[in-house]
Structure 1
Amino acid sequence: MTDGIHYSLRFVLTFRLSWAELPAIETEYESLWRFARALQRADLSIDGWHPRASSVKASFRIRAFDSAGPTPAALAMAKAEKQEYPGVCSLGAWNGIEGNGGAAFTDLLSVDGLCSVRLRTK
């Protein structure tokens, strides 16, 4: 007998931007926040997401979202990263769980090539 249903999901959506410039970080993070809100239906709390960072410890210090939208700390981190790679924007968040129950999603935007949104759960 099991305690519940366990599932793994991989979702990838690829597309091309129809404009020559990347959207503002605030605009893109707002889109990710809306995506995270939709994931609440799969019992993934909006408050449980952490942005990508240089280490797990650094990631846990910051929440990616709250009930009002992207957090100021997550936006500041994303803005600092974007400056290093003009023409490409990659944002992501994970729920801080490795293994069963873990989930992560990323988006990758490029003005010169394919873009993607990826979700993976364990």
Structure 2
Amino acid sequence: MLKVEKIHHIAVICADYERSKQFYCHTLGFQLLAEHYRAERQSWKADLAINGNYQIELFSFPHPPARPTQPEACGLRHLAFSVRDLDLAVTQLAAAGVKYEAIRVDPYTEKRFTFFNDPDGLPLELYEESE
């Protein structure tokens, strides 16, 4: 059996690189570790981190196809991010003009969560966890 240690990163393709970089860095608080323009692909690649941990590769490509359905397409359903204070987090989302679903409670863990979308409609989740 293959011994996977951890998830290294998640790759996200966006339609508007600057808009998505702004969203992930300024709205969600990711740190931009590195940024490269790949001329042969007409593509940007950014490495983003949370608390110093490399998490997301943000890519741009000319004319990427749209997500086929929302959110139950085959493949990756959504990305979930931990927060300590969900009420504060949704207040900050709202202040940034990001719409989010009503806060719900996970029936299995009894933790609160909500869903929202990135600029390209990728489903994202905030999941409240205490230390």
TM-score (norm 1): 0.31
Larger of the two Rg values belongs to structure: 2
Point out which structure has higher relative CO (alpha carbons under 8 A, 6+ apart). 1
- Looking at secondary structure, tell me which structure has more helix per residue: 1
TM-score (norm 2): 0.29
